[in-house]
Amino acid sequence: MEFDDYESLPSGSIGVHMTAGALAGVMEHSLMFPIDSVKTRMQSLAPSPEAAYRSIREGLVKMVSSEGLLRPMGGINAVILGAGPAHAFYFSAYEGIKSTFGSSNSFQNHIVNAGAGCGATLFHDAVMVPADVIKQRMQMYNSPYSSCFDCLRKLYRSEGVKAFYRSFTTQMVMNLPFHAVHIVTYEKIQSVMNPERVYNPKAHMVSGAVAGAVAAALTTPLDMCKTVLNTQETSALVQLQQSRVIGIVGALRTIYLMNGFPGFFKGIHARILYQMPGTAISWSVYELFKHHMMNPNKNESPLPRWDNDLIKDSVIRDNANDGDSASKSHSDGDIDGKGLVQERFITLGTTTNKTVERLRTLHMPTLTANCTAADDIWLGK
C-alpha cells in the first residue's frame, strides 16, 4: 500500500479511525486488566497484610486463591464502557491533528506528533477519568461495592459529581507528557523499522511496546498521585488524620509522608509490564483494523470479464498481448499496474451462424464495423 493511502487518510475516514480506535482500546484494557488490578493494589499506601504483594505473579495468585477466580477482573465493565469512546476520540483526534499539521521536516514532525498526542489526550481523558475512578475503587482490597453501577450510585450520593473528576487535573498532568513521549517514541521507531509506513504488524507491535514502556516508566510518580486521588484510601487517611486527599500537591505530600521518596515509584514494574503489551496490542489492533477497513475488497476475487465466454468460444480474439498494443488513456481499455489504461484490440475469431447475434447483444460501438464485416462475410457465403 502506498504511504499516502495508508498513513494520511482523508478526513472522510474519521469513522475508520474511531472504529479502529474503539476496538483497540477495548482489546488493550480487557486483555491487560488483571495486571492493572495488581498494579492498583501494589500502589496502596497502607496495604492490608493480605494484599501486600511483592510481585505481579504473587498478587494474581493471592487474589484468585483468597477472593475468587474473577476477582482480578473486578471493575472491567467500567473500563469497557469508557475505553471504547475514549480511544475512538483519541485516535481520530490524533490522526486529524497529524494529517493537518504534518510536515516533511523531521524535527517539525516530532513537534506535531507530540502535539497530536497531547491534543488527543484531552478528548480521551474527558471520558476515561470517571471510568478510572470506578475501576480503581472496584480493584481495591475489600472493596465495599458489589458492582460498577453500585459504585457509581454510592459515590454520587456520598461525594457528588466532583468525585469522578477529582483526579482529572492530575491525570491530565500525567497523560500529556505520557502521550507526548509515547507518540514521539512510537513514530521514531516506526521511521526506523517501517520507513515505508506500510502495514507491518511486527513493526507496529515492537514500536507500541517500546513506546509504552518508556512513557510508563517516566510518568509512574504521577500515576501514583492519580491512584491516591481516585482511591482515597481509608487506612492512609486515618493515619494522616485527614478526610480527603485533594489535588496533585496533596497527593504528592500524602505519598511522601506515608512511604517517602520510594513511594513515588511503587508498582513501577507492574505499570511497565501492563503498558508494554497493552500499547503493543492497542497499536497492533488499531493498525490492523485501519488497514482492513481501508481495503475491504482486497481479498475478493476480481469480477469475471464480459468477454471471457466469447474468447473461449473463439467468437472474438483478444490481441492485447500480441505486442502491438500501447498503454495510454482510453475509455475502452483495462487499467494496468501503473494506473494507465491499456487499449485492447479485439478482432473476430472463427465466425459461425451465431457470431453476429452474440456480438450485437454486447451493444459495443467499437465493434460496429466488425459486425458489418461479419454480415458481409456471412452473406457472401
Would you write out the chain's pLDDT as a tens digit for each of its 381 residues? 333 344 444 444 777 778 888 888 888 888 889 999 999 999 888 888 888 888 889 999 999 999 999 899 999 999 888 988 888 888 888 888 887 887 667 777 778 888 888 888 888 888 888 999 999 999 998 889 989 999 999 999 998 888 898 888 888 888 888 888 888 899 899 989 988 888 888 999 999 999 999 999 999 998 999 899 988 888 888 888 888 888 889 999 999 999 999 999 998 998 998 889 888 888 888 888 878 776 655 544 554 555 566 666 666 666 655 544 444 434 344 444 444 445 555 565 665 556 656 655 655 555 555 555 555 555 555
The predicted-structure confidence for 325-368, as pLDDT tens digits, reads as follows 444 434 344 444 444 445 555 565 665 556 656 655 655 555 55
pLDDT for 350 equals 61
What is the dihedral angle through the alpha carbons of 182, 187, 188, 192, rounded to the nearest 10 degrees?
140
Asked if residue 21 lies in contact with residue 93, where contact means CB atoms within 8 angstroms, the answer is no
Using DSSP's 3-state secondary structure scheme, residue 342 falls into: strand
Give DSSP secondary structure letters for 107-158. HHHHHHHHHHHHHHHHHHHHHHHHHHHHHHHHHSTT-S-SSHHHHHHHHHHH
Reported as half-sphere exposure (CB side, CA atoms, 13 A), residue 261 has a value of: 0
The residues pairing with 317 across neighbouring beta strands, listed in sequence order, are 347
d(CA 209, CA 207): 6
Asked if residue 21 lies in contact with residue 293, where contact means CB atoms within 8 angstroms, the answer is no
Residue appearing with cell numbers 508494554: 276
Q: Model-level pTM?
A: 0.62
pLDDT for 216 equals 92
pLDDT for 364 equals 54
pLDDT for 4 equals 39
pLDDT for 314 equals 64
The predicted-structure confidence for 202-251, as pLDDT tens digits, reads as follows 999 999 999 999 999 999 998 999 899 988 888 888 888 888 888 889 99
Average pLDDT, the chain: 78
